[in-house]
Structure 1
Amino acid sequence: MTMPRFFSPLLSLVTIIFVLTGCASPSPTVPEEFEANYQTSQFEAKAYLIPTAPEAFARRVELVRKAQSTIDMTYFSWNGDTLGLMLVDELKQAADRGVKIRLTLDDLLVFNEKWLADLDAHSNVQVRIFNPFNSRKMGWVGRAADFQMHQDQLDNRLHEKYFNVDNQQLILGGRNIGDEYFGYSKDANFYDMDVLFQGAVIAPFADNYEVIWQSDVVTPIAELISIKQPQEYINLNKAYAKAKKQQPEIIADIEQTIALMPTVEFIDVTVTPVFDSLQKLQNSLPYFRQRAEIAINKEIKTAKKAVISTPYVVPTNGEFVVLDKLTRNGAKVQLITNSSASNDSLFIPAYYEKHRQTLLDMGIELYEYKDEAKNDDHFYHAATYYHNKTIILDDKLSYIGSSNFDPRSDFLNVEFGLFVHSEAFAAKVEDYLFSQKESLYWHVSRNKDGDIEWQSGDEVQDSNPNYGGWHKPIDWIFTKMDGESEL
């Protein structure tokens, strides 16, 4: 699980040490027959891979403006920055027209956001918070103390990303809501991917949303954050007015993107959705991971080519089970992930140093995202982090969803996703990943002497790019925490 990137390095370090030291525990033993009776279902759908980060946000705004009856959303985080506040304001305007709006939001990054409580005060809007913390006004120090005392309760987080308008249009992918997820942050931006779906597949996702919405693991935000003068939207209006004044160029670019958006060209696909179980909060068993592997078991066994994209390469109990299965069966495996310098987590690089060698020894073709990558669709070019999660098997099956397929996604977070059966769609995903290969990634391999080297075009480096020696003592501290099962 990653921590927010924009609080001070010292507080970041103190918080992480306080939270992780003495807290990590091995992943639970999975019963041999776990989920043995799980049955998959297939649905027809139309899919459109949204080709740029600005369009991914613009599509959301456009869908909200055209909404007729309902908007249901789930997100792990929703920032109170320019894009976050703009979308909230658009939702409020839709609610003014009579659209019924529901937002389910994980509580890890929700403190005392009164602008969110303002939105909830609208008669047509409901905001519910997943697995809320007890501490709300003491910042990260309070959160860390709360976590130490109630880890069993608070360790499970809602990691789904879901945007359903009128049960007719559904956006799934890896992006949360905030400037940095769409290329509009001056500090740092994520590289990610979203897909717009139509068709029968929306129904099972709507059913999954209802299960969480009606469960006792979500709490109305009004019970957690109090506001004065409800339904006057003082906090929301003030915050958004300030954002517009400070960043008018962002608002203008978004409006221009909406005006110039191309016509959506859908691909007809067959999809297999996979959902987690809220039982995970009681037993920490890997429902989503097991169900996903069952859904594509045949394809994994016979795959000759695999492209796997994940921001965080973390083994489960020290083993890369699926990667090992693929390579043992002779599949050519390409793995895309963060470089040590580009990782938004402070502690994953400490463990990844040894995993890089393991992956190369397995014969995996490894690509690492550059910390200074220049995505041509980003409005601001700043530090960059890789946040994309997908799988392509044999150029015909692709994964779209929230799971990073790491221990935290497997055993702690609530996740979902779907597998898309389509050669045409798989080609779109592969092009999305590799069309800017030279400018985005280091190709990591061993040279003739067996030493690791990083290559991009004509540039070759024999040491970890932009990851200097000063990281070593910090990495040593993190590895001694033995907290990899929490990542």
Structure 2
Amino acid sequence: MTAALATLCSARPGQTGVQLLDDGPAALAVRLHIVRRARRSIDVQYYIWRDDVAGRLLLDELAAAAARGVKVRLLMDDFGCAAAEHLAAALPGLEVRMFNPARLRWPRWPNAIFDFSRLNRRMHNKSLTVDEIATVIGGRNIGDEYFDAGHAEMAADLDVLAIGAIAGEVAANFQLYWDFPAAVPLARLAAPAAAALAPAPLCGRRRAYLAAAENPATLALVDEAQDFTWASVTMLSDPPEKISGNCAEDRLMLPQLLAAMAWAKQRLLLVSAYFVPTPASQALLCGLVERGVQVDVLTNSLLSNNVVLVHAFYAPWRAALLAAGVRLWEMRGTSGDRVSFGLIPRRLRRRRAAASFFRASASELHAKSFITDGRWLFVGSMNFDPRSWRLNTELGFLIDSPVLAKRLETALDDGLPRFAWRLEAHGGALAWCEDDHLIQPEPGTTSLQRAALWLLGRLPLGHLF
């Protein structure tokens, strides 16, 4: 990275420069840009890596960095990155490892029968760290649906670009995963590539990504101090040993996260793509309400949820949470322009509407975040569900910044009534509030779908989540 960036960080010892990245194209552009700036090392860790334009483009940039002498290490979860495995194997200069890999490489489906318990535990972390001075972490995987504003299934998501000492902590955490025995070199798993991988064709989507990365506005995001908010940032991370199922609870990320939520004295705003309460987490949320804390939860509706089983396990909790005073919001999931959190840096704002929480309804909510008392902000990979707590490894930042927390809180308050349904009890049943009218039964569902949901929610599948 540049000497100017190092000087910028050294002038603020103990602090981290932070920017929130809710705009998809900008989030990919920043990744491409810091990879191009790398001089010594790039550490990349992801749960899902698609074989699509965004996936190919970032791999091309990593290979280009390796060709100029940068040490590039790529740690991919074997479950979510199987489609890109052959791409990584064909690129020279990259050190690639697969986390918790399946023993039978092809066909893979028998692994689910004979090795399910082990393979059900996944590395859900998402990070890209350059020269131990700049890092991007958050909710996004690598794929067009996370970055392309024109993608049919664009997900509303949130990342953090951070510069300073915290990047070194993320790099050290990456090293723990890289050295863990479950991180297996790809060369032991994949057949040698027959030939070098040809660059992805210069299609319209690729041109758009490259244009965003080369835009002076994107360059300014990394270089200019006024675009960063300087704050105290704590990295929260599960140890890689979590996948063994024998890791002591006090070493896990969850207790720290729940403690941060329990600090709330006035308000907790929770955003979770997958929201599946347990008796303990229900007690936490309801206990906050009893103490006078306003608790708002935004999650996916059935229409916007991409995992029906998650919705089936969430749905039975709604009535009890509402009765306790928790305010529930569900994404409407209707068609329209793609979405953002309304936090696009000023240089990237092209129209007034971009400053709102959602420009229009999303196909899917994918963000994982919460705000307490307009001061503490969490952004990371962890959903508010048992799978994230018990099975997957996770990573996130807890940011002490009234500026950023209030910015996101205001965006949520402005946008939620327009782009999410608020749930309430009405006539002994649930109702979904849209503008000034109520919708019953559950929006976008048929009686058959509701019956199927009821049945799924009562199957003995809780261990999956």
State whether residues 156 and 362 of structure 2, in contact with CA within 8 Å, keep that contact through their aligned partners in structure 1. Answer: no
Deviation of 1:471 (Å):
1.4
Deviations 1:90-109 (A, max 9, x none): 11111111111111111113
Deviation of 1:76 (Å):
0.3
Q: 1:302 and 1:349, CA in 2 relative to 1: closer, same or farther beyond 3 A?
A: closer
Deviations 1:302-332 (A, max 9, x none): 5221001111121236752421332232210
2:126 to 161, 173, 191: 161
State whether residues 27 and 159 of structure 2, in contact with CA within 8 Å, keep that contact through their aligned partners in structure 1. Answer: yes
**Alignment-derived partner of residue 438 in structure 2:** 460
1:207-356 correspondence runs (5 A): 207-229=172-194, 232-233=195-196, 236-237=197-198, 240-241=200-201, 244=202, 248-258=203-213, 259-261=215-217, 263-264=220-221, 265-284=227-246, 287=249, 291-294=253-256, 297=259, 300-316=262-278, 320-356=282-318
5+ residue gaps, structure 2, are 1-12, 222-226, 341-353
1:96-115 correspondence runs (5 A): 96-111=67-82, 113-115=85-87
Q: 1:215 and 1:169, CA in 2 relative to 1: closer, same or farther beyond 3 A?
A: same
The SS at the match of 2:308 is coil
**Alignment-derived partner of residue 30 in structure 2:** 59
Instruction: Give the counterpart letter for 1:105 in structure 2.
Output: M
**Alignment-derived partner of residue 26 in structure 1:** none
State whether residues 301 and 329 of structure 1, in contact with CA within 8 Å, keep that contact through their aligned partners in structure 2. Answer: no
Q: 1:182 and 1:319, CA in 2 relative to 1: closer, same or farther beyond 3 A?
A: same
Instruction: Give the counterpart letter for 1:405 in structure 2.
Output: F
User: Within 2, Cα distance between the matches of 1:337 and 1:256?
Assistant: 33
**Alignment-derived partner of residue 395 in structure 1:** 374
Q: 1:424 and 1:126, CA in 2 relative to 1: closer, same or farther beyond 3 A?
A: same
Deviation of 1:389 (Å):
0.6
User: Within 2, Cα distance between the matches of 1:486 and 1:272?
Assistant: 30
User: Within 2, Cα distance between the matches of 1:422 and 1:357?
Assistant: 34
The SS at the match of 2:240 is coil
The SS at the match of 1:251 is helix
The structure, 1 or 2, with the larger RCO (C-alpha pairs under 8 Å, 6+ apart) is 1
Instruction: Give the counterpart letter for 1:130 in structure 2.
Output: F
Deviation of 1:288 (Å):
7.6
User: Within 2, Cα distance between the matches of 1:282 and 1:480?
Assistant: 28
**Alignment-derived partner of residue 3 in structure 1:** none
**Alignment-derived partner of residue 104 in structure 2:** 135
User: Within 1, Cα distance between the matches of 2:18 and 2:81?
Assistant: 32
State whether residues 338 and 361 of structure 2, in contact with CA within 8 Å, keep that contact through their aligned partners in structure 1. Answer: no
Deviation of 1:480 (Å):
4.2
User: Within 1, Cα distance between the matches of 2:382 and 2:95?
Assistant: 26
Percent identical across equivalent pairs?
A: 28
User: Within 2, Cα distance between the matches of 1:312 and 1:414?
Assistant: 15
RMSD: 2.7
User: Within 1, Cα distance between the matches of 2:289 and 2:360?
Assistant: 37
Q: 1:149 and 1:288, CA in 2 relative to 1: closer, same or farther beyond 3 A?
A: farther
User: Within 1, Cα distance between the matches of 2:308 and 2:395?
Assistant: 26
User: Within 2, Cα distance between the matches of 1:56 and 1:467?
Assistant: 34
Q: 1:375 and 1:85, CA in 2 relative to 1: closer, same or farther beyond 3 A?
A: same
1:357 to 319, 335, 360: 319
User: Within 2, Cα distance between the matches of 1:291 and 1:91?
Assistant: 30
Instruction: Give the counterpart letter for 1:73 in structure 2.
Output: V
Deviation of 1:160 (Å):
0.4
Q: 1:468 and 1:82, CA in 2 relative to 1: closer, same or farther beyond 3 A?
A: same
Q: 1:317 and 1:329, CA in 2 relative to 1: closer, same or farther beyond 3 A?
A: closer
User: Within 1, Cα distance between the matches of 2:316 and 2:257?
Assistant: 31
User: Within 2, Cα distance between the matches of 1:432 and 1:462?
Assistant: 28
Q: 1:374 and 1:193, CA in 2 relative to 1: closer, same or farther beyond 3 A?
A: farther
Instruction: Give the counterpart letter for 2:376 in structure 1.
Output: L
Deviations 1:189-222 (A, max 9, x none): 2111011001111222111110110111111111
**Alignment-derived partner of residue 346 in structure 2:** none
**Alignment-derived partner of residue 224 in structure 2:** none
User: Within 2, Cα distance between the matches of 1:427 and 1:386?
Assistant: 21
**Alignment-derived partner of residue 7 in structure 1:** none
**Alignment-derived partner of residue 9 in structure 1:** none
State whether residues 155 and 339 of structure 2, in contact with CA within 8 Å, keep that contact through their aligned partners in structure 1. Answer: no
State whether residues 454 and 460 of structure 1, in contact with CA within 8 Å, keep that contact through their aligned partners in structure 2. Answer: yes
Instruction: Give the counterpart letter for 1:406 in structure 2.
Output: D
State whether residues 395 and 427 of structure 1, in contact with CA within 8 Å, keep that contact through their aligned partners in structure 2. Answer: yes
Deviates more, 1:260-269 or 1:127-136: 260-269
TM-score after normalising by structure 2: 0.85
State whether residues 288 and 415 of structure 1, in contact with CA within 8 Å, keep that contact through their aligned partners in structure 2. Answer: no
User: Within 1, Cα distance between the matches of 2:30 and 2:299?
Assistant: 27
Deviates more, 1:290-299 or 1:206-215: 290-299
**Alignment-derived partner of residue 479 in structure 1:** 457
The SS at the match of 1:315 is coil
State whether residues 367 and 443 of structure 1, in contact with CA within 8 Å, keep that contact through their aligned partners in structure 2. Answer: yes
Across the two proteins, how many residue pairs are aligned to each other?
A: 428
User: Within 2, Cα distance between the matches of 1:375 and 1:292?
Assistant: 35
Q: 1:435 and 1:178, CA in 2 relative to 1: closer, same or farther beyond 3 A?
A: farther
State whether residues 423 and 430 of structure 2, in contact with CA within 8 Å, keep that contact through their aligned partners in structure 1. Answer: yes
State whether residues 236 and 256 of structure 2, in contact with CA within 8 Å, keep that contact through their aligned partners in structure 1. Answer: no
Deviation of 1:261 (Å):
2.5
Deviations 1:80-137 (A, max 9, x none): 0111111111111111111111111111133363112112xx13x1110000012322
